[in-house]
Chain A
Amino acid sequence: MSGTALTTTPAGRVAALARAELTLFGRSKGMIVAAVFVPLVLPFSARTVVKDMDLSGAGLNVGLVLLPGAIGFSLLVAVYSALIGVFVGRREELVLKRLRTGELRDREILAGSALPSVGTGLVQSLLLAVGCAVLLDVPAPEAPHLAVLGLALGLVMCAALAALTASFTRTVESAQVTGMPLMLVSMAGSGLAVPLELMPDRVATVLELLPLTPVITLLRGGWSGELSVSASIGPVLTALAWTVLAVFAVRRWFRWEPRR
């Protein structure tokens, strides 16, 4: 990367921006703690709670609850929540405005800024999968394509939702608050802590429409192998719908400059 290309390409521009953003990531202690420490430690401490659940009736086991939940938690903390802070922080420092004066397209600016956090979410998920296999005797996924699909959808959707939340967040401080609703709703209702299989059917039907629920469903199905193709269409469509909605809302409402 000499950085002196005769004409730049979208990929080259995104890479240049992502590289700078990765450097910043490495210099922010808060980001490192939130991105590395919390998601990797929390699921194992949740193990004792999950152990006491009556899972066998729903055809589940501790690993099948903990692993998708841990990945979902990582998506929420390392990708969604962290990226709100990144987008709002860069806007506050007028970095986004400055970037927009150049050849970068708007979507490239958002993609380049998001890449390190999305990468973190990906690495964490892989580490969690390996960690759970080793420490909790979770077997290899029965339907890996579903797990990969779920993870990919989750990463893209969380980045898009973060940009959307950032559209309505004024300061880095308030990013802690504006990200809360989705974090809490997802933790309680998307099967991160309590599988939807353990809830009343009518409640579960509604909760299936939450953004993170299809991701967890696909991940769990990927490991259990008990999600048929027809049963996976609904979750995929739900996740896609949320992503498309978020992208449209971002195009419409994203703010590139701080309010004065």
Chain B
Amino acid sequence: MNTNGHEHVIEVTDLRRVYGGGFEAVRGISFSVRRGEVFALLGTNGAGKTSTVELLEGLAPPTAGRVRIFGRDPHTERAAVRPRTGVMLQEGGFPSELTVAETARMWAGCVSGARPPLQALGLVGLEHRAGVRVKQLSGGERRRLDLALALLGRPEVLFLDEPTTGLDAEGRRETWDLVRELSDGGTTVLLTTHYLEEAEDLADRLAILHRGLIAATGTPAEVTAAQPSRISFELPEGYFVGDLPPLGRLGVLGHEVEGRLVRLRTRELQRTATGLLGWAEQAGVELGRLDVRSASLEEAFLGIARQAAAGSAADVKEYAA
């Protein structure tokens, strides 16, 4: 359990989940999360994020493989694990006719070492809505109520399934600040998201899930570094790709041409850019719509989606937006 003094509080080994109809949602994934770490599971809809998190939460037994939280099985050793975890489901399940305060009080009665309900509501800025029925809350307020309940028991491990979906920009910032604060205080956080900047900003490490498998994992910087940088521009009138200097010599890994628009992929951005701009200068031409960008998590994500695209163009479109 201990490696270099860092305790792995979440350990996942060869995890599989097959649903009744035979659909294989999780197809053998492994990862571990250290105490105090923020770990993000990224993926398109249907990538297996929620299916995975539900197994970590102990809501269902895995079809195969192993989950350990604090070294214990969250499904069979529920009584030992649950008092130490907090869960925010993708969709909060609250009776719509209860008020916010009544909901928090009910949950507090079911949680060991609970914070006072109103204090928990204060953490997410909902105390002024305490007397309002759940059905009258906005989608964002409901997410925050869910987060407040997940925090009620001062959990050591927090599972957040798409915590900021439906929140406005400000609410999202506030949630991020809260997660950072909790993490600084030693709480281990596992979150799923399809907001790339959320993972990039918040996560110490992340895994990109694609069709039930981990397509890439590491720190945001590591995952990004594995991706090429990109340069795109419009060829001047009368010029063709063949008129450019030999691309291989500029460090270009590959290129695409779409009408006049040329896209280059490279791992040596400075060399490629210098070579290209030097050529343009010498030839006395203007490169229209010039765009030079280093790899980002978004590039990594799109790259992974594209690699495995075969017939699922929808994935790319959704995240490109």
Which residue numbers of A lie inside 8 Å of B, CB to CB? 1-8, 12-13, 15-17, 19-20, 23-24, 27-28, 90, 93-105
* Chain A: CB-nearest residue to B90: A94
Q: Contact check, B102 vs A20: say whether CB atoms are below 8 A apart.
A: yes
* Chain A: CB-nearest residue to B88: A101
A104 and B153 alpha carbons, distance in the complex (Å): 13
Q: Contact check, B109 vs A3: say whether CB atoms are below 8 A apart.
A: yes
A8 and B83 alpha carbons, distance in the complex (Å): 9
Which residue numbers of B lie inside 8 Å of A, CB to CB? 57, 59, 78-79, 82-83, 87, 89, 91-98, 102-103, 105-117, 153
How close is B45's CB to chain A, nearest CB, in angstroms?
A: 13
A94 and B112 alpha carbons, distance in the complex (Å): 22
Q: Contact check, A5 vs B114: say whether CB atoms are below 8 A apart.
A: yes
A102 partner, pick from B107, B115, B116, beta carbons under 8 A: B107
Q: Contact check, A90 vs B95: say whether CB atoms are below 8 A apart.
A: yes
| Contacts between chains A and B (CB distance < 8 A), count | 98
How close is A91's CB to chain B, nearest CB, in angstroms?
A: 9
Contact sample, A vs B, 25 pairs, CB 8 Å cutoff: A3-B117, A4-B116, A5-B114, A8-B112, A13-B109, A15-B109, A16-B106, A16-B109, A16-B110, A17-B109, A19-B106, A20-B95, A20-B102, A20-B105, A23-B98, A23-B102, A93-B95, A93-B96, A95-B94, A97-B93, A98-B89, A98-B92, A98-B93, A100-B59, A102-B153
* Chain B: CB-nearest residue to A28: B97
Q: Contact check, B112 vs A24: say whether CB atoms are below 8 A apart.
A: no
Chain B residues closer than 8 Å to A13, beta-carbon distance:
109-110
Q: Contact check, B95 vs A103: say whether CB atoms are below 8 A apart.
A: no
Given contacts A3-B108, A20-B102, A20-B106, contact A93 B117 (CB under 8 A): no
B97 partner, pick from A7, A24, A96, A102, beta carbons under 8 A: A24
Q: Contact check, A101 vs B108: say whether CB atoms are below 8 A apart.
A: no
Q: Contact check, A8 vs B110: say whether CB atoms are below 8 A apart.
A: yes
Chain B residues closer than 8 Å to A2, beta-carbon distance:
116
Given contacts A3-B117, A7-B83, contact A16 B94 (CB under 8 A): no
How close is B19's CB to chain A, nearest CB, in angstroms?
A: 10
A7 and B107 alpha carbons, distance in the complex (Å): 13
* Chain A: CB-nearest residue to B149: A98
A183 and B78 alpha carbons, distance in the complex (Å): 37
How close is B241's CB to chain A, nearest CB, in angstroms?
A: 49
* Chain B: CB-nearest residue to A6: B113
A104 and B82 alpha carbons, distance in the complex (Å): 9
A143 and B113 alpha carbons, distance in the complex (Å): 47
User: Top 5 closest A-B pairs, CB basis?
Assistant: A16-B109, A94-B93, A98-B93, A3-B108, A20-B106
* Chain B: CB-nearest residue to A25: B97
Chain B residues closer than 8 Å to A100, beta-carbon distance:
59
Interface hub of A13, A16, A27, A101 (most chain B Cβ within 10 A): A101
How close is B192's CB to chain A, nearest CB, in angstroms?
A: 15
Chain B residues closer than 8 Å to A17, beta-carbon distance:
106, 109-110
Chain A residues closer than 8 Å to B102, beta-carbon distance:
20, 23
A101 and B58 alpha carbons, distance in the complex (Å): 8
Interface hub of B78, B110, B117 (most chain A Cβ within 10 A): B110
A7 and B82 alpha carbons, distance in the complex (Å): 12
A24 and B30 alpha carbons, distance in the complex (Å): 43
How close is B82's CB to chain A, nearest CB, in angstroms?
A: 5
How close is B136's CB to chain A, nearest CB, in angstroms?
A: 13
B113 partner, pick from A1, A7, A98, beta carbons under 8 A: A7
* Chain B: CB-nearest residue to A8: B112
